Amino acid sequence: MKRVLTIAGSDSGGGAGIEADIKTITALGAFGCTAITAVTAQNTLGVAGVHPLPAEFVALAIKTVLDDIGADAVKLGMLANEAIIRAVAGALPTNITLVLDPVMVATSGAVLLEEGAVEAMRQLLLPRATLVTPNLPEAQKLTGMPVGTEAERIAAGRALLAMGAQAVLIKGGHGGEDILTDYLITADTLEAISLPRIETRNTHGTGCTMASAIATGLAQGMTMLDAVHRARNYLQEAIRTAPGFGAGHGPVNHLVRA
C-alpha cells in the first residue's frame, strides 16, 4: 500500500480539503496522512470562517509524518498564507513527488489564499512541483495571462512550465463550453482530455479531489498521463453520482470506483 501525505485545510462540511483528500486517497487504494494548514467553518452555501494554524506547527506535522511513516507522494492544497507556504517549502524534501493544487478561492467565492502569498507560491513551490493543477482563474492569477481560448490556456500552461513545474494540468471546468477540456502539458507533450460537462450544482471539492486522485496514482507508480486519466474518470463519476446534500454547491460522491 502506497502512502500519500496531503497538506491542506480542513472543510467542516466534508466535501473539500483534507476531508475530500482522505476519502479520495482511500477510495483509490492508498494510505492517507495529513498536515492541516487551516480549519474552516463552511457548508455548501459558503465559508463562514477560516482559522490558519501556526506555520511552525504545520511544519512539525509534516516532519513528524515523514520521519516515521513516510510518503510516496505529497498533495498540496489550501496553504492560507505566506508563512505557511514558507514552512511547507522548508519542511518537504526536494526529491519527493509533489502535486500542487494552487487553491486560492473556494467554489463559493471565499478567498482561501492571502494576496501576498501568491508570489511565495510562484517562487517556492512551483519550481518543486511534479504537477500543478490550476483551474482557469488560478492559472490567470499565477501567470497574469488571459485564459479565454484554447490557445491562451495552453500558453498559460507553458508559462507555468517556465516557472519550474515539471507538468501542468490546466483544468477547464470554469469555462463555459459544453465539452469540458483539461490540458496536460509537459516540456515534450500536450494532451487534451475532454469529457461532457455535467450540469450540476454539486461541484464542491472537485479540485481537491482531482489533485489527490492524481497524487495517489503517481504514488502507485502510474505514469502521469494514466494517473490524470484515472483521476478525471473517477471525478466525472463522483460528480455524476453526487448525493445532493445541502442547498448550495454540494459534495461529490467519493465512494465511487475508479
Grid coordinates given for 253:
460522491
141 catalytic residue (yes or no)? no
Residue among 130, 133, 143, 206 flagged as catalytic: 206
- Amino acid residing at 122: R
- Report whether 215 contacts 193 (CB < 8 A): no
- Active-site position among 171, 209, 217, 250: 171
Spatial separation of the C-alpha atoms in residues 26 and 199, rounded to whole Å: 27
Distance CA 249, CA 226 (A): 29
Quick check: is 14 catalytic?
no
What residues are paired with 188 via a beta bridge? none
Q: 62: closest CA among 5, 117, 23? A: 5
Residue 63 catalytic? no
Catalytic, out of 203, 216, 217, 250: 203
Q: Which of 15, 75, 172, 208 is catalytic?
A: 208
Which one of 77, 207, 217, 250 is the catalytic residue? 207
Active site residue 207: yes
* Sheet arrangement for strand 167-170: 46-52, 31-43, 3-11, 73-76, 98-100, 131-132, 167-170, 179-186, 190-196
Q: Is 191 exposed, middle or buried (0-12, 13-18, 19+ CB in 10 A)?
A: middle
* The three three-digit cell numbers of residue 51, written as one number: 482559522
Q: How far apart are CA 99 and CA 97, in angstroms?
A: 7
Q: Is 206 a catalytic residue?
A: yes
> Which position among 205, 209, 217, 250 bears the catalytic label?
205
Confirm whether 171 is a catalytic residue.
Answer: yes
Residues with a catalytic annotation lie at 171, 203, 205-208
